[in-house]
Amino acid sequence: MIYLDNSATTKPHPSVLESFQQVSSTYFANPSSIHQLGGTTETLLLAAKKQAADILGIGVDEVIFTSGGTEGNNTAIKGIALEHQGRGKHIITSSIEHPSIYEACQSLETLGFEVTYLPVDGNGVVSAAELEKAIRNDTILISIMHVNNETGSIQPIEKIGSIAKRYPKLFFHVDAVQSIGKVLVQLKDSGIDICTFSGHKIHGLKGTGMLYVNNRTKLFPLLHGGNQEYSLRSGTENLAGSVSFVKALRMIKEREKHDINHLLSMKSYLYDALKAMDGVEVNTPEHGAAHIINMSVPGIKPEVIIHMLGEQEIYISTKSACSSKLKDESKVLAACGFGRNRTTTALRVSLSYDNTMEEMKIFVQALSKAIKQFKEAME
């Protein structure tokens, strides 16, 4: 099997699974219980927070464990909007955000908020200068993803963070679900107030994740109850999930440090090979993230190629997993200015550190063969 759909989800690492099982079996008590086992469980939860904080260079009290990217993004967007609506009701985001941002913003529009959806250029990148022009006296939030999940384009979050620092009445949220462990995310003194991470994109488990919320940021909680997670996320903590998330976070940051050139080499090989392949148009910018390549094969429905490759146990995807069942064109590629011949025929290859150059060569040969076979059958 050659698995090239790692931006949809990654295979859990055996050490992560072992960590989850061990904590579930041994430290099963409720961290809020006042008996000794509850106290031990709470101590382990705090240790996991401290480890995550040390890895990311932030404070322990700035770590909120969540169920993943969608919860993190909704908590950030709606939490800021509802808490600070007395200050203003204007939000700035981009036209290529993940559905968990886009849909959250649209839901707020029904409550009277106004949202500016910034355009992107042909490489799928927002202009920091245009973003600053969009800031108004009533702007309370900027939310921009770091790496786009369909094309791998990298947004200028360092520049945007510098801009955000000049406007202390607004907050800056970054969706770093696709970048953590592959494109460096700097949180301390970056101008970023809130940042979303997800476990299953980094060989952790589905249903695990983390939200960085800096000390100056106050959110309206989406969940009320027992006041866990500093009253931002009530509900009994998923201790085993949180511990296993931190395990995955530590491991992916180590691989980012030591193996990023391996990822870049595979991406470079694929980029050049697909650029040269007859009938294929590469949509990903040359200087995008190291793990995502988006391409179109005009004239062939993407499902046909997915099926032909799947018969050989080679797995790629069409658009993002969260929008792949929608039959319309790729909203992201359309925002980049591509025509319908490319926006309706897109395929995504997404890598992990575990992939090999040999797998890249097999995939390129299989894709070329599949396109040739389809065209011959249609003649």
Backbone angles phi and psi of 66, in degrees to 5: -130, -175
In the chain, the DSSP E strands lie at 2-3, 63-66, 90-94, 114-118, 139-145, 171-175, 194-198, 209-213, 281-282, 292-296, 314-315, 346-350
278 class by beta-carbon count within 10 Å (0-12 exposed, 13-18 middle, 19+ buried): exposed
Looking from the CA of 19 toward its CB, the CA atoms found within 13 Å total 23
**Nearest-CA neighbor of 273 among 342, 191, 366, 341?**
366
Residue found by looking up tokens 């392949």 in the block: 277
**Residues 105, 195, 322, 336: which is the catalytic one?**
322
Residue found by looking up tokens 């429905």 in the block: 301
Separation in Å, CA 286 to CA 106, 122, 275, 282: 32, 12, 10, 9
Q: Give the integer Cα–Cα distance in Å for 131 and 128.
A: 5
In one-letter notation, the amino acid at residue 24 is S
Widest CA span in the chain:
75
Q: Reduce the secondary structure of 184-242 to three states and give it as a string.
A: CCCCCCCCCCEEEEEHHHCCCCCCCEEEEECCCCCCCCCECCCCCCCCCECCCCCHHHH
Spatial contact of 160 and 189, defined as CB atoms under 8 Å apart: no
Q: What one-character-per-residue DSSP string does 319-361 give?
A: S-TTTTT--S--HHHHHTT--HHHHTSEEEEE--TT--HHHHH
In one-letter notation, the amino acid at residue 197 is F
The answer to whether 322 is a known catalytic residue is yes
- Radius of gyration for the chain, computed over Cα atoms and rounded to the nearest angstrom: 21
Q: Give the integer Cα–Cα distance in Å for 372 and 279.
A: 9
147 class by beta-carbon count within 10 Å (0-12 exposed, 13-18 middle, 19+ buried): buried
The catalytic site residues sit at 322
